[in-house]
Chain A
Amino acid sequence: MTPTVFMQQPAILDLISGMAEQLQSIIRERQLINPVMIGIHTGGVWVADHLHKKLGLADELGTLNISFYRDDFSRIGLNPRVKPSNIPFDIEDRPVILVDDVLQTGRTIRAAMNEIFDFGRPSAIILAVLVNKTGRELPVQADVTGMTPTLKPNDYLFLRGPEPLEMQLGQKTASSGNND
Protein backbone atom coordinates (compact mmCIF):
# COMPACT_ATOMS: atom_id res chain seq x y z
CA MET A 1 0.00 0.00 0.00
CA THR A 2 1.46 3.36 -0.98
CA PRO A 3 1.73 5.93 1.76
CA THR A 4 -0.81 8.72 1.96
CA VAL A 5 -0.25 12.34 2.83
CA PHE A 6 -0.99 12.87 6.48
CA MET A 7 -0.03 16.51 6.88
CA GLN A 8 1.38 19.18 4.60
CA GLN A 9 3.95 21.94 5.11
CA PRO A 10 1.68 24.77 6.31
CA ALA A 11 0.23 22.56 9.05
CA ILE A 12 3.63 21.23 9.99
CA LEU A 13 5.07 24.71 10.27
CA ASP A 14 2.19 25.58 12.56
CA LEU A 15 3.11 22.68 14.81
CA ILE A 16 6.72 23.80 14.82
CA SER A 17 5.66 27.32 15.84
CA GLY A 18 3.83 25.77 18.74
CA MET A 19 6.93 23.79 19.68
CA ALA A 20 9.03 26.96 19.56
CA GLU A 21 6.65 28.63 22.02
CA GLN A 22 6.79 25.65 24.37
CA LEU A 23 10.59 25.72 24.22
CA GLN A 24 10.71 29.43 25.02
CA SER A 25 8.56 28.76 28.10
CA ILE A 26 10.84 26.01 29.31
CA ILE A 27 13.96 28.11 28.73
CA ARG A 28 12.41 30.86 30.86
CA GLU A 29 11.09 28.61 33.64
CA ARG A 30 14.21 26.55 34.04
CA GLN A 31 16.49 29.52 33.49
CA LEU A 32 18.52 27.79 30.86
CA ILE A 33 21.47 29.93 29.85
CA ASN A 34 22.85 29.86 26.27
CA PRO A 35 21.22 26.67 25.13
CA VAL A 36 22.43 24.90 21.99
CA MET A 37 20.32 22.86 19.62
CA ILE A 38 21.10 19.48 18.07
CA GLY A 39 18.92 17.82 15.42
CA ILE A 40 19.01 14.08 14.74
CA HIS A 41 19.53 13.08 11.09
CA THR A 42 17.61 13.24 8.95
CA GLY A 43 14.10 14.36 9.82
CA GLY A 44 15.11 15.83 13.16
CA VAL A 45 17.54 18.16 11.40
CA TRP A 46 14.79 19.49 9.11
CA VAL A 47 12.59 20.27 12.09
CA ALA A 48 15.51 21.68 14.07
CA ASP A 49 16.40 23.99 11.19
CA HIS A 50 13.08 25.79 11.56
CA LEU A 51 13.14 25.75 15.36
CA HIS A 52 16.69 27.07 15.41
CA LYS A 53 15.69 30.06 13.28
CA LYS A 54 12.57 30.74 15.35
CA LEU A 55 14.49 30.70 18.63
CA GLY A 56 17.31 32.77 17.18
CA LEU A 57 20.01 30.77 18.91
CA ALA A 58 23.55 32.15 18.76
CA ASP A 59 25.45 28.96 18.05
CA GLU A 60 25.18 27.08 14.79
CA LEU A 61 22.79 24.12 14.67
CA GLY A 62 24.43 20.83 15.61
CA THR A 63 23.55 17.65 13.74
CA LEU A 64 23.78 14.09 15.02
CA ASN A 65 24.21 10.87 13.06
CA ILE A 66 23.37 8.14 15.53
CA SER A 67 24.17 5.15 13.29
CA PHE A 68 27.33 4.38 15.28
CA TYR A 69 25.32 4.26 18.49
CA ARG A 70 22.31 2.22 17.46
CA ASP A 71 21.62 -0.86 19.52
CA ASP A 72 20.59 -2.93 16.52
CA PHE A 73 23.97 -2.80 14.77
CA SER A 74 24.51 -6.53 15.19
CA ARG A 75 21.30 -7.21 13.37
CA ILE A 76 21.17 -4.65 10.59
CA GLY A 77 24.73 -3.31 10.18
CA LEU A 78 25.70 0.13 8.96
CA ASN A 79 24.18 2.40 6.36
CA PRO A 80 27.06 3.81 4.35
CA ARG A 81 25.35 6.97 3.23
CA VAL A 82 24.41 9.08 6.25
CA LYS A 83 26.05 12.43 6.88
CA PRO A 84 28.46 12.38 9.81
CA SER A 85 27.71 14.12 13.09
CA ASN A 86 28.71 17.77 13.32
CA ILE A 87 28.82 19.45 16.73
CA PRO A 88 30.48 22.83 16.11
CA PHE A 89 30.32 24.01 19.73
CA ASP A 90 31.43 22.90 23.13
CA ILE A 91 28.82 20.80 24.92
CA GLU A 92 30.48 20.91 28.29
CA ASP A 93 28.01 22.31 30.86
CA ARG A 94 25.61 23.71 28.23
CA PRO A 95 21.87 22.97 28.04
CA VAL A 96 21.11 20.98 24.89
CA ILE A 97 17.81 21.06 23.03
CA LEU A 98 17.64 17.72 21.25
CA VAL A 99 15.24 17.62 18.30
CA ASP A 100 13.80 14.65 16.41
CA ASP A 101 10.89 14.17 14.04
CA VAL A 102 9.22 11.04 15.45
CA LEU A 103 9.50 9.52 18.94
CA GLN A 104 8.22 5.99 19.33
CA THR A 105 10.35 3.27 21.01
CA GLY A 106 12.84 5.69 22.51
CA ARG A 107 15.91 3.84 21.21
CA THR A 108 16.99 6.65 18.88
CA ILE A 109 16.95 9.12 21.74
CA ARG A 110 18.96 6.76 23.94
CA ALA A 111 21.56 6.39 21.17
CA ALA A 112 21.57 10.18 20.67
CA MET A 113 22.13 10.81 24.36
CA ASN A 114 24.99 8.28 24.45
CA GLU A 115 26.61 10.05 21.55
CA ILE A 116 26.10 13.51 23.03
CA PHE A 117 27.85 12.41 26.22
CA ASP A 118 30.87 11.32 24.12
CA PHE A 119 31.18 14.96 23.11
CA GLY A 120 30.94 16.35 26.60
CA ARG A 121 28.70 16.61 29.67
CA PRO A 122 25.64 18.81 29.05
CA SER A 123 24.01 20.61 31.97
CA ALA A 124 20.60 19.47 30.73
CA ILE A 125 18.96 17.84 27.73
CA ILE A 126 15.51 19.01 26.64
CA LEU A 127 13.80 16.73 24.17
CA ALA A 128 11.58 18.26 21.49
CA VAL A 129 9.77 16.01 19.01
CA LEU A 130 7.38 16.82 16.19
CA VAL A 131 5.35 13.64 16.52
CA ASN A 132 4.90 11.74 19.78
CA LYS A 133 3.70 8.20 19.03
CA THR A 134 2.84 5.49 21.52
CA GLY A 135 4.97 2.38 21.63
CA ARG A 136 7.77 3.13 24.10
CA GLU A 137 10.25 0.37 24.75
CA LEU A 138 12.47 2.53 26.90
CA PRO A 139 11.58 5.09 29.62
CA VAL A 140 12.02 8.17 27.45
CA GLN A 141 9.72 11.20 27.40
CA ALA A 142 9.51 14.34 25.30
CA ASP A 143 9.57 17.72 27.04
CA VAL A 144 8.09 19.45 24.00
CA THR A 145 5.69 17.85 21.55
CA GLY A 146 4.26 19.01 18.24
CA MET A 147 1.41 16.54 18.13
CA THR A 148 0.30 13.26 19.63
CA PRO A 149 -1.78 11.54 16.94
CA THR A 150 -4.09 8.61 17.47
CA LEU A 151 -2.89 5.84 15.25
CA LYS A 152 -3.46 2.16 14.62
CA PRO A 153 -0.72 -0.28 15.67
CA ASN A 154 0.46 -0.83 12.11
CA ASP A 155 0.49 2.87 11.20
CA TYR A 156 3.84 4.32 10.30
CA LEU A 157 4.43 8.07 10.17
CA PHE A 158 7.44 9.59 8.48
CA LEU A 159 8.61 13.04 7.51
CA ARG A 160 9.64 13.94 3.96
CA GLY A 161 11.66 17.07 3.25
CA PRO A 162 13.38 19.35 3.53
CA GLU A 163 11.43 21.45 1.05
CA PRO A 164 8.52 21.13 1.17
CA LEU A 165 8.04 19.36 4.50
CA GLU A 166 5.40 16.68 4.29
CA MET A 167 4.25 14.01 6.75
CA GLN A 168 3.21 10.71 5.24
CA LEU A 169 1.33 7.77 6.70
CA GLY A 170 2.12 4.25 5.67
CA GLN A 171 1.47 0.69 6.84
CA LYS A 172 4.22 -1.16 8.63
CA THR A 173 4.87 -4.58 7.12
CA ALA A 174 6.17 -7.49 9.17
CA SER A 175 9.73 -7.06 7.92
CA SER A 176 10.15 -3.32 8.35
CA GLY A 177 11.89 -2.45 11.57
CA ASN A 178 11.11 0.64 13.53
CA ASN A 179 13.50 2.00 16.01
CA ASP A 180 12.26 5.49 16.67
Chain B
Amino acid sequence: MLYKNSQLTAEGKLKHFLSIEGLKRDLLVDILDTAENFTALAHKGRPVKKVPLLRGKTVTNLFFENSTRTRTTFELAAKRLSADVLNLNISTSATTKGESLLDTLRNLEAMHCDMFVVRHASSGAARFIAEHCEEHISVMNAGDGAHAHPTQAMLDMLTIRQHKGDFTPLRVAIVGDILHSRVARSQILALNTLGVTEVRVIAPRTLLPFDPRSLGVHVYHDLIEGITDVDVIIMLRLQKERMAGAFLPSEHEYFRLYGLTENKLKHAKKDVIVMHPGPINRGVEIDSAVADGPHSVILQQVSNGIAVRMAIMSMCLGGQDSREESA
Protein backbone atom coordinates (compact mmCIF):
# COMPACT_ATOMS: atom_id res chain seq x y z
CA MET B 1 0.00 0.00 0.00
CA LEU B 2 2.88 2.32 0.83
CA TYR B 3 4.21 2.08 -2.72
CA LYS B 4 0.94 2.16 -4.50
CA ASN B 5 1.47 5.79 -5.42
CA SER B 6 5.00 5.36 -6.59
CA GLN B 7 6.15 3.97 -9.91
CA LEU B 8 8.66 1.70 -8.23
CA THR B 9 8.35 -1.37 -6.07
CA ALA B 10 9.95 -1.51 -2.65
CA GLU B 11 13.01 -3.01 -4.33
CA GLY B 12 13.28 -0.07 -6.72
CA LYS B 13 12.07 -1.96 -9.78
CA LEU B 14 9.68 -0.48 -12.27
CA LYS B 15 6.05 -1.26 -11.61
CA HIS B 16 4.19 1.58 -13.32
CA PHE B 17 5.58 3.89 -15.96
CA LEU B 18 3.84 7.19 -15.39
CA SER B 19 6.47 9.89 -15.69
CA ILE B 20 10.20 10.35 -16.08
CA GLU B 21 10.09 12.41 -12.88
CA GLY B 22 11.67 10.64 -9.97
CA LEU B 23 13.47 8.01 -12.05
CA LYS B 24 17.21 7.75 -11.65
CA ARG B 25 19.72 7.82 -14.47
CA ASP B 26 20.64 4.14 -14.01
CA LEU B 27 17.05 3.08 -14.46
CA LEU B 28 16.72 5.13 -17.65
CA VAL B 29 19.91 3.53 -18.96
CA ASP B 30 18.52 0.08 -18.13
CA ILE B 31 15.44 0.92 -20.19
CA LEU B 32 17.59 2.00 -23.11
CA ASP B 33 19.76 -1.11 -22.89
CA THR B 34 16.76 -3.40 -22.68
CA ALA B 35 15.14 -1.62 -25.62
CA GLU B 36 18.33 -1.99 -27.63
CA ASN B 37 18.01 -5.74 -27.17
CA PHE B 38 14.49 -5.64 -28.53
CA THR B 39 15.46 -3.66 -31.63
CA ALA B 40 17.29 -6.74 -32.87
CA LEU B 41 13.99 -8.59 -33.06
CA ALA B 42 12.81 -6.57 -35.99
CA HIS B 43 15.75 -7.57 -38.16
CA LYS B 44 15.46 -9.60 -41.32
CA GLY B 45 16.25 -13.26 -41.02
CA ARG B 46 14.06 -13.52 -37.97
CA PRO B 47 10.75 -14.77 -39.23
CA VAL B 48 9.12 -14.89 -35.83
CA LYS B 49 9.35 -11.38 -34.43
CA LYS B 50 7.70 -12.44 -31.21
CA VAL B 51 9.19 -13.50 -27.93
CA PRO B 52 7.15 -15.33 -25.30
CA LEU B 53 7.89 -13.01 -22.37
CA LEU B 54 4.33 -11.85 -21.76
CA ARG B 55 2.56 -14.97 -22.90
CA GLY B 56 -0.63 -15.39 -20.91
CA LYS B 57 -0.70 -11.76 -19.87
CA THR B 58 -3.33 -9.31 -21.02
CA VAL B 59 -2.53 -5.73 -21.89
CA THR B 60 -5.46 -3.36 -22.16
CA ASN B 61 -5.21 -0.14 -24.14
CA LEU B 62 -7.38 2.43 -22.38
CA PHE B 63 -7.43 5.34 -24.77
CA PHE B 64 -9.65 8.18 -23.68
CA GLU B 65 -8.05 10.33 -26.35
CA ASN B 66 -8.08 9.17 -29.92
CA SER B 67 -4.76 8.16 -31.34
CA THR B 68 -4.43 5.40 -33.86
CA ARG B 69 -0.68 5.63 -34.28
CA THR B 70 0.28 5.51 -30.61
CA ARG B 71 -2.26 2.84 -29.85
CA THR B 72 -1.01 0.71 -32.73
CA THR B 73 2.56 0.95 -31.47
CA PHE B 74 1.57 -0.19 -28.00
CA GLU B 75 -0.52 -2.94 -29.47
CA LEU B 76 2.35 -4.18 -31.62
CA ALA B 77 4.74 -4.02 -28.70
CA ALA B 78 2.41 -6.10 -26.54
CA LYS B 79 1.79 -8.62 -29.30
CA ARG B 80 5.49 -9.03 -30.01
CA LEU B 81 5.83 -9.97 -26.39
CA SER B 82 3.11 -12.58 -26.99
CA ALA B 83 0.63 -10.81 -24.75
CA ASP B 84 -3.09 -10.71 -25.46
CA VAL B 85 -4.31 -7.22 -26.24
CA LEU B 86 -7.63 -5.59 -25.42
CA ASN B 87 -8.44 -2.25 -27.06
CA LEU B 88 -10.82 0.10 -25.34
CA ASN B 89 -11.40 3.35 -27.15
CA ILE B 90 -13.43 5.36 -24.75
CA SER B 91 -14.30 8.58 -26.50
CA THR B 92 -14.78 11.46 -24.18
CA SER B 93 -18.45 11.76 -25.06
CA ALA B 94 -19.13 8.41 -23.45
CA THR B 95 -17.59 9.52 -20.20
CA THR B 96 -19.46 12.78 -20.18
CA LYS B 97 -22.61 10.72 -20.52
CA GLY B 98 -22.01 9.52 -17.05
CA GLU B 99 -19.61 6.63 -16.74
CA SER B 100 -16.83 7.97 -14.60
CA LEU B 101 -13.24 6.92 -14.93
CA LEU B 102 -13.57 4.86 -11.76
CA ASP B 103 -16.64 3.06 -13.04
CA THR B 104 -14.79 2.16 -16.22
CA LEU B 105 -11.97 0.74 -14.12
CA ARG B 106 -14.29 -1.33 -11.96
CA ASN B 107 -15.92 -2.80 -15.05
CA LEU B 108 -12.53 -3.72 -16.45
CA GLU B 109 -11.45 -5.44 -13.29
CA ALA B 110 -13.76 -8.29 -14.14
CA MET B 111 -11.68 -9.01 -17.23
CA HIS B 112 -8.44 -10.18 -15.56
CA CYS B 113 -5.99 -7.73 -16.95
CA ASP B 114 -2.28 -7.30 -16.15
CA MET B 115 -1.52 -3.93 -17.61
CA PHE B 116 -3.36 -0.76 -18.58
CA VAL B 117 -1.89 1.51 -21.20
CA VAL B 118 -3.62 4.81 -20.63
CA ARG B 119 -3.98 7.91 -22.74
CA HIS B 120 -6.19 10.67 -21.34
CA ALA B 121 -6.77 14.36 -21.86
CA SER B 122 -6.33 15.24 -18.18
CA SER B 123 -2.96 15.70 -16.52
CA GLY B 124 -2.58 13.21 -13.72
CA ALA B 125 -5.00 10.67 -15.20
CA ALA B 126 -2.49 7.82 -15.49
CA ARG B 127 -1.45 8.30 -11.89
CA PHE B 128 -5.08 8.39 -10.82
CA ILE B 129 -5.67 5.05 -12.52
CA ALA B 130 -2.53 3.58 -10.95
CA GLU B 131 -3.78 4.67 -7.53
CA HIS B 132 -7.21 3.17 -7.99
CA CYS B 133 -6.75 -0.03 -9.92
CA GLU B 134 -6.08 -3.43 -8.43
CA GLU B 135 -2.78 -4.05 -6.72
CA HIS B 136 -1.30 -6.37 -9.33
CA ILE B 137 -1.99 -4.21 -12.39
CA SER B 138 0.77 -2.13 -13.95
CA VAL B 139 -0.08 1.15 -15.59
CA MET B 140 1.77 2.68 -18.52
CA ASN B 141 1.18 6.32 -19.36
CA ALA B 142 0.63 6.82 -23.08
CA GLY B 143 0.12 10.53 -22.53
CA ASP B 144 -1.89 12.42 -19.91
CA GLY B 145 -2.98 15.97 -20.67
CA ALA B 146 0.05 18.23 -20.94
CA HIS B 147 1.84 16.40 -18.12
CA ALA B 148 3.88 13.50 -19.45
CA HIS B 149 4.51 11.13 -22.35
CA PRO B 150 7.36 9.13 -20.91
CA THR B 151 7.56 6.32 -23.49
CA GLN B 152 7.93 8.90 -26.25
CA ALA B 153 10.75 10.55 -24.34
CA MET B 154 12.52 7.21 -23.92
CA LEU B 155 12.31 6.32 -27.59
CA ASP B 156 13.68 9.76 -28.36
CA MET B 157 16.55 9.12 -25.95
CA LEU B 158 17.26 5.77 -27.59
CA THR B 159 17.37 7.42 -31.00
CA ILE B 160 19.75 10.09 -29.71
CA ARG B 161 22.00 7.46 -28.15
CA GLN B 162 22.10 5.42 -31.31
CA HIS B 163 23.42 8.42 -33.23
CA LYS B 164 25.45 10.26 -30.64
CA GLY B 165 26.55 7.67 -28.13
CA ASP B 166 27.36 9.68 -25.01
CA PHE B 167 24.73 12.09 -23.71
CA THR B 168 27.04 14.29 -21.68
CA PRO B 169 28.47 16.65 -24.33
CA LEU B 170 25.17 17.19 -26.12
CA ARG B 171 23.23 20.40 -26.67
CA VAL B 172 19.61 19.67 -27.45
CA ALA B 173 17.02 22.16 -28.70
CA ILE B 174 13.28 21.60 -28.46
CA VAL B 175 11.27 23.85 -30.73
CA GLY B 176 7.58 24.65 -30.61
CA ASP B 177 4.56 24.57 -28.37
CA ILE B 178 6.25 23.69 -25.09
CA LEU B 179 3.34 25.03 -23.06
CA HIS B 180 0.91 22.34 -24.20
CA SER B 181 3.44 19.57 -24.79
CA ARG B 182 3.61 16.50 -22.60
CA VAL B 183 6.31 15.18 -24.90
CA ALA B 184 8.53 18.21 -24.24
CA ARG B 185 8.11 17.95 -20.47
CA SER B 186 9.14 14.30 -20.47
CA GLN B 187 12.01 14.92 -22.87
CA ILE B 188 13.40 17.73 -20.75
CA LEU B 189 13.33 15.53 -17.66
CA ALA B 190 14.98 12.61 -19.47
CA LEU B 191 17.70 14.74 -21.08
CA ASN B 192 18.59 16.39 -17.78
CA THR B 193 18.57 13.09 -15.90
CA LEU B 194 20.83 11.53 -18.52
CA GLY B 195 23.20 14.46 -18.03
CA VAL B 196 23.28 16.41 -21.29
CA THR B 197 25.24 19.66 -21.36
CA GLU B 198 22.30 21.86 -22.25
CA VAL B 199 18.62 21.72 -23.04
CA ARG B 200 17.18 24.67 -24.95
CA VAL B 201 13.57 25.54 -25.65
CA ILE B 202 12.76 27.77 -28.60
CA ALA B 203 9.30 29.32 -28.86
CA PRO B 204 7.37 32.59 -28.74
CA ARG B 205 6.36 33.60 -25.22
CA THR B 206 2.75 32.56 -25.79
CA LEU B 207 3.85 28.95 -26.25
CA LEU B 208 6.07 28.77 -23.17
CA PRO B 209 4.92 27.86 -19.65
CA PHE B 210 5.36 30.05 -16.57
CA ASP B 211 9.06 30.58 -15.81
CA PRO B 212 10.30 27.94 -18.27
CA ARG B 213 13.84 28.07 -16.89
CA SER B 214 12.55 26.36 -13.78
CA LEU B 215 12.06 23.26 -15.92
CA GLY B 216 15.84 23.13 -16.32
CA VAL B 217 16.26 24.74 -19.75
CA HIS B 218 17.67 27.80 -21.47
CA VAL B 219 15.06 29.87 -23.27
CA TYR B 220 15.34 31.26 -26.80
CA HIS B 221 12.80 33.18 -28.82
CA ASP B 222 14.88 33.21 -31.98
CA LEU B 223 15.18 29.93 -33.86
CA ILE B 224 18.55 30.54 -35.48
CA GLU B 225 20.12 31.73 -32.27
CA GLY B 226 18.61 28.76 -30.48
CA ILE B 227 19.84 26.06 -32.85
CA THR B 228 23.34 27.45 -33.27
CA ASP B 229 25.84 24.71 -32.43
CA VAL B 230 23.26 22.19 -31.22
CA ASP B 231 23.66 18.45 -31.73
CA VAL B 232 19.99 17.52 -31.66
CA ILE B 233 16.90 19.44 -32.74
CA ILE B 234 13.50 18.18 -31.67
CA MET B 235 10.59 19.78 -33.50
CA LEU B 236 7.20 19.70 -31.81
CA ARG B 237 3.91 19.53 -33.61
CA LEU B 238 1.84 22.69 -33.77
CA GLN B 239 -1.86 22.15 -33.09
CA LYS B 240 -4.23 24.06 -35.34
CA GLU B 241 -6.19 25.25 -32.29
CA ARG B 242 -3.34 27.54 -31.30
CA MET B 243 -4.34 30.04 -33.95
CA ALA B 244 -7.86 30.17 -32.56
CA GLY B 245 -6.66 30.73 -29.01
CA ALA B 246 -4.69 33.86 -29.92
CA PHE B 247 -1.38 32.12 -29.30
CA LEU B 248 -0.15 32.76 -32.85
CA PRO B 249 -1.24 34.89 -35.79
CA SER B 250 -0.98 32.23 -38.50
CA GLU B 251 0.73 29.02 -39.55
CA HIS B 252 2.53 31.00 -42.18
CA GLU B 253 4.03 33.34 -39.62
CA TYR B 254 4.96 30.43 -37.39
CA PHE B 255 6.76 28.70 -40.24
CA ARG B 256 8.57 31.89 -41.14
CA LEU B 257 9.88 32.36 -37.61
CA TYR B 258 10.13 28.86 -36.17
CA GLY B 259 9.85 26.46 -39.06
CA LEU B 260 12.95 24.36 -39.69
CA THR B 261 14.31 24.69 -43.22
CA GLU B 262 17.55 23.48 -44.79
CA ASN B 263 18.95 26.98 -44.70
CA LYS B 264 18.32 27.49 -41.02
CA LEU B 265 19.64 24.01 -40.27
CA LYS B 266 23.10 25.11 -41.41
CA HIS B 267 23.51 26.97 -38.12
CA ALA B 268 23.46 23.78 -36.13
CA LYS B 269 26.38 21.39 -35.87
CA LYS B 270 27.30 19.63 -39.13
CA ASP B 271 26.19 16.26 -37.78
CA VAL B 272 23.01 17.51 -36.15
CA ILE B 273 20.11 15.11 -36.05
CA VAL B 274 16.52 16.30 -36.50
CA MET B 275 13.72 14.61 -34.61
CA HIS B 276 9.94 14.92 -34.44
CA PRO B 277 7.49 12.92 -32.33
CA GLY B 278 4.99 12.97 -35.19
CA PRO B 279 2.68 13.38 -36.89
CA ILE B 280 4.53 15.99 -38.91
CA ASN B 281 2.88 19.17 -40.18
CA ARG B 282 4.94 19.70 -43.33
CA GLY B 283 5.39 23.37 -44.08
CA VAL B 284 4.36 24.41 -40.60
CA GLU B 285 7.04 23.32 -38.18
CA ILE B 286 9.34 21.60 -40.64
CA ASP B 287 9.73 21.57 -44.39
CA SER B 288 9.84 18.39 -46.44
CA ALA B 289 13.46 18.83 -47.44
CA VAL B 290 14.50 18.57 -43.80
CA ALA B 291 11.92 15.96 -42.78
CA ASP B 292 13.08 13.67 -45.57
CA GLY B 293 16.69 14.84 -45.56
CA PRO B 294 19.94 13.27 -44.33
CA HIS B 295 19.75 14.79 -40.86
CA SER B 296 16.28 13.47 -40.15
CA VAL B 297 15.98 10.40 -37.92
CA ILE B 298 12.22 10.53 -37.72
CA LEU B 299 11.62 7.08 -39.17
CA GLN B 300 14.07 5.58 -36.74
CA GLN B 301 12.12 7.11 -33.91
CA VAL B 302 9.07 5.23 -35.11
CA SER B 303 10.76 1.84 -35.17
CA ASN B 304 12.42 2.51 -31.84
CA GLY B 305 8.98 3.18 -30.47
CA ILE B 306 8.04 -0.46 -30.54
CA ALA B 307 11.29 -1.67 -28.98
CA VAL B 308 11.11 0.90 -26.18
CA ARG B 309 7.56 0.01 -25.33
CA MET B 310 8.42 -3.68 -25.37
CA ALA B 311 11.25 -2.96 -22.98
CA ILE B 312 9.16 -0.97 -20.55
CA MET B 313 6.28 -3.44 -20.65
CA SER B 314 8.68 -6.27 -19.88
CA MET B 315 10.34 -4.38 -17.07
CA CYS B 316 7.01 -3.52 -15.48
CA LEU B 317 5.54 -6.99 -15.72
CA GLY B 318 8.65 -9.07 -15.11
CA GLY B 319 10.10 -9.93 -11.77
CA GLN B 320 6.97 -8.94 -9.86
CA ASP B 321 5.77 -12.42 -9.14
CA SER B 322 6.21 -13.32 -5.54
CA ARG B 323 3.45 -15.83 -5.88
CA GLU B 324 4.29 -19.46 -6.65
CA GLU B 325 5.13 -19.93 -10.28
CA SER B 326 1.94 -20.92 -11.97
CA ALA B 327 1.77 -23.98 -14.19
Residues of A within 8 A of B (CB): 65, 67-69, 71-78, 80-82, 84-88, 90, 114-115, 118-120
Contact = CB atoms under 8 A, between A and B. Distances in A.
A61 B52 CA distance: 24
Given A88-B45, A120-B47, A68 B52 contact: yes
Which of B29, B33, B51 is most buried by chain A, counting CB atoms within 10 A of its CB?
A: B51
A63 to B, nearest CB: 11
B319 A77 contact: yes
B133 interface: no
Nearest to B319: A77
Given A65-B37, A69-B51, A78 B45 contact: no
Given A84-B40, A88-B45, A69 B52 contact: yes
A69 B37 CA distance: 13
Q: Which 10 pairs, one residue from A and one from B, show the smallest C-beta to C-beta distance?
A: A77-B319, A77-B318, A118-B48, A68-B51, A84-B40, A74-B321, A80-B33, A80-B30, A80-B34, A84-B37
B305 to A, nearest CB: 18
Interface string B166-192: 000000000000000000000000000
Contacts of A119: 45-48
Contacts of A71: 325
Given A80-B33, A84-B40, A74 B50 contact: no
Interface of A is mostly: loop
Contacts of B46: 87, 118-119
A68 B34 CA distance: 11
Nearest to B35: A80
Given A73-B53, A77-B314, 12 more contacts: A69-B51, A74-B320, A75-B319, A75-B321, A77-B320, A78-B53, A78-B314, A80-B29, A86-B40, A114-B52, A118-B50, A120-B47
Interface string B304-327: 000000000011011111100100
Nearest to B13: A77
28 contacts: A68-B37, A68-B52, A68-B53, A69-B51, A71-B325, A72-B325, A73-B314, A74-B319, A75-B325, A76-B319, A77-B13, A77-B314, A77-B315, A77-B320, A78-B34, A78-B315, A78-B318, A80-B30, A80-B31, A80-B33, A82-B37, A85-B40, A90-B45, A118-B46, A118-B47, A118-B50, A119-B46, A120-B47
Contact of A74 (B30, B315, B318): B318
Contacts, number: 67
Nearest to A84: B40
Contacts of B33: 80-81
A73 B45 CA distance: 25
Interface string B17-43: 000000000000111011011001000
A58 B320 CA distance: 44
B280 to A, nearest CB: 31
B27 to A, nearest CB: 10
A119 B34 CA distance: 21
Contacts of B30: 80
A87 B53 CA distance: 20
Contacts of A85: 40
Contacts of A67: 37
Contacts of A120: 47
Contacts of B29: 80
A37 B319 CA distance: 32
A35 to B, nearest CB: 18
Contacts of B53: 68, 73, 78
A114 B325 CA distance: 19
Contacts of B31: 80
Contacts of B318: 73-74, 76-78
A82 B31 CA distance: 13
